[in-house]
């Protein structure tokens, strides 16, 4: 019923009723976390919010009903109202309160999720740019230029055709490095082409000391990979597995597609505790890009598969390149 003037006892009972409502929202919050509603889209979330608001409004009314009767006892009544009307009014008030609470709660978390995704996107772009600059720096550093030019100088007289081919491959490699950094993913077949160019340049210098074996699943060629990912693994294998060894060795490049997973493997001779001045920056950068693009669904692992054999393995979701996500990189050919 509606009373003329609330007393101190009435105010205390109202506060107690509101405290019950807060306890209900506390349980509701635990329910939300347990069911994972925070990850749902707005379309899937809205009917759940409405349904839970009505249910929690009824629960709140049921828990607070004894306090309502205590509030009515001995109170001066000015208007007679039936218990059913009071109950329906209480459920309506509780529903409105729970809906507003839900809107504020999920609105805050949706905003935080959007902010986190924006931060992750900017981190990805920043990391991709760092990878681009690192790859470009590694290709145009003085040692690389000196080794390439020294090899080309010898080839000009001995084998002009091979010299022209080496210049073309170097141009392809630099062009790919410049353009690939603008993309999140590229087709694996594009990455394999730039790896071929890189290895061809290294074979000019290392000759028979560098041997390459490829095992590429045809179904994997059109799948997407982060740009310069495979090239980073191969570069690491040449630098720390072939260059320091007088006898050289074999680099194996494998790509397998099974169900919904793509696995890349690059193996080279050597040991992980051999030192050699490696900072691991390139591999850490590649692992971070995988994490930002695929989350926990992708991983990069470097391990000794057997004594004297180091294997870098990337396991990631097998997804096709999205339309418009990859722009073909022009490939020069020798005249």
Of 250-254, 274-278, 293-297, 324-328, which gets the smallest average pLDDT? 324-328
* Residue written as token pair 């097998």: 318
HEC per residue, the chain: CEECCCCHHHHHHHHHHHHHHHHHHHHHHHHHHHHCHHHCCHHHHHHHHHHHHHHHHHHHHHHHHHHHHHHHCCCCEEECCCHHHHHHHHHHHHHHHHHHHHHHHHHHHHHHHHHHHHHHHHHHHHHHHHHHHHHHHHHHCHHHHHHHHHHHHHHHHHCHHHHHHHHHHHHHHHHHHHHHCCCCCEEHHHHHHHHHHHHHHHHHHHHHHEEEEEEECHHHCCEEECCCHHHHHHHHHHHHHHCCCCCCEEEEEEEEEECCEEEEEEEEECCHHHCCCCCCHHHHHHHHHHHHHHHHHCEEEEEEEECCEEEEEEEEECCECCCCCCCCCCCCCCC
**What does pTM read for this prediction?**
0.56
User: Would you say residue 328 has pLDDT above 50?
Assistant: no
Q: What is the pLDDT of residues 277-315, one digit of tens each?
A: 555 677 887 888 888 788 888 999 999 988 889 999 999
The CATH architecture one would assign to domain 141-317 is: 2-Layer Sandwich (3.30)
Which of 48-52, 53-57, 264-268, 305-309 shows the highest mean pLDDT? Answer: 264-268
Decide: 10 and 3 in contact? Cβ < 8 Å: yes
Mean of pLDDT values over 264-283: 76
The alpha carbon torsion through 4, 8, 13, 18 (nearest 10 deg) reads 90
Mean pLDDT, the chain, as a whole number? 77
User: Would you say residue 321 has pLDDT above 60?
Assistant: no
Domain positions in the chain? 2-118, 141-317
User: Would you say residue 192 has pLDDT above 70?
Assistant: yes
Say which residue, 314 or 121, is predicted with more confidence: 314
Integer Cα distance of 109 and 39 in angstroms: 9
Integer Cα distance of 143 and 146 in angstroms: 5
């Amino acid at each position: 019923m509606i009373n003329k003037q609330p007393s101190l006892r009435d105010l205390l009972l109202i506060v107690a009723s509101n405290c019950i409502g807060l306890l209900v929202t506390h349980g509701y919050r635990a329910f939300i976390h347990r069911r994972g509603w925070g990850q749902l889209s707005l379309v899937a979330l809205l009917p759940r919010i409405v349904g839970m608001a009505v249910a929690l409004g009824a629960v709140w009314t049921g828990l607070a009903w004894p306090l309502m009767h205590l509030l009515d006892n001995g109170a001066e009544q000015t208007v007679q109202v039936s218990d059913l009307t009071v109950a329906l009014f209480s459920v309506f008030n509780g529903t409105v309160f729970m809906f507003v609470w839900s809107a504020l709660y999920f609105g805050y978390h949706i905003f935080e999720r959007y902010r986190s995704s924006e931060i992750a996107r900017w981190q990805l772009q920043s990391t991709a740019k760092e990878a681009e600059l690192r790859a470009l720096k590694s290709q145009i550093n003085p040692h690389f230029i000196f080794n390439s030019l020294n090899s080309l100088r010898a080839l000009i007289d001995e084998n002009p055709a091979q010299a022209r081919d080496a210049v073309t491959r170097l141009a392809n490699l630099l062009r790919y490095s410049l353009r690939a950094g603008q993309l999140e993913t590229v087709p694996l077949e594009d990455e394999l082409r730039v790896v071929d160019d890189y290895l061809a340049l290294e074979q000019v210098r290392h000759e028979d000391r560098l041997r390459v074996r490829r095992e590429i699943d045809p179904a994997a060629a059109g799948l997407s990979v982060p740009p310069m990912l495979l090239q980073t693994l191969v570069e690491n294998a040449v630098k720390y597995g072939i260059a320091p060894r007088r006898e050289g060795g074999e680099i194996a490049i494998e790509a397998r597609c099974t169900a919904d997973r793509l696995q890349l493997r690059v193996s080279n001779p050597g040991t992980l505790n051999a030192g050699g001045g490696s900072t691991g920056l390139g591999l850490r950068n590649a692992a971070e890009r995988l994490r930002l693009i695929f989350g926990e669904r992708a991983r990069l692992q470097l391990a000794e598969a057997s004594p004297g054999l180091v294997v870098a393995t990337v396991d990631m979701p097998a997804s096709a390149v999205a339309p418009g996500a990859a722009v073909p990189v022009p490939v020069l050919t020798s005249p």
